[in-house]
């Protein structure tokens, strides 16, 4: 692992969380590179600059196409982060809004099954 550059967001602790989850310490000699935007992490990984954290929503298509691969076994399911659909309380939704909400829920379920 020390020969790879770990890519992450500025101020992000994804790699710290991953190592902690796997009962390991980050080697002090490991090189790290941080980007302001998550898409820059994925672009750097595609270019071979290092290893980026990703998820099935943001990196799923590139994983399916083979543009990105999972170089490490295991993953972390986050209990504190997620995507939410927020609407007004006690409001009847238009048919179009219901279709959209159903689509979002189905897409989320598909990413869980993809993992």
11 and 47: one domain? yes
Is 78 a member of any domain?
no
59 and 94: one domain? no
50 and 17: one domain? yes
Task: Give 68's Cβ-side CA count (13 Å radius).
Answer: 23
13 and 45: one domain? yes
Express each pLDDT in 64-108 by its tens digit: 898 888 877 766 766 556 666 777 777 777 888 889 888 988 877
Query: pTM to 2 decimals?
Result: 0.64
C-alpha to C-alpha distances, 66 to 5, 59, 70, 104, nearest whole angstrom: 20, 11, 10, 24
> Tokens representing 105?
């829920």
CB atoms within 10 A of CB 8: 21
59 and 104: one domain? no
Domain count, the chain: 2
Q: Using only C-alpha atoms, what is the Rg of the chain?
A: 17
Question: Which H/E stretch holds residue 14?
Answer: helix 14-21
Express each pLDDT in 14-73 by its tens digit: 888 888 888 888 888 899 999 988 889 899 999 999 999 887 777 888 888 988 888 777
Range of the structural domain that residue 105 is part of: 83-115
């Amino acid at each position: 692992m020390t020969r790879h550059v770990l890519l992450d967001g500025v101020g992000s602790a994804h790699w710290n969380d991953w190592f902690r989850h796997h009962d390991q310490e980050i080697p002090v000699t490991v090189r790290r590179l941080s980007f302001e935007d998550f898409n820059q992490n994925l672009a750097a990984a595609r270019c071979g600059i290092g290893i980026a954290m990703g998820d099935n929503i943001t990196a799923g298509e590139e994983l399916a196409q083979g543009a990105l691969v999972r170089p490490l076994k295991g993953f972390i399911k986050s209990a504190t982060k997620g995507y939410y659909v927020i609407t007004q309380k006690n409001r009847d939704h238009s048919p179009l809004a219901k279709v959209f909400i159903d689509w979002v829920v189905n897409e989320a379920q598909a990413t869980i099954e993809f993992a």
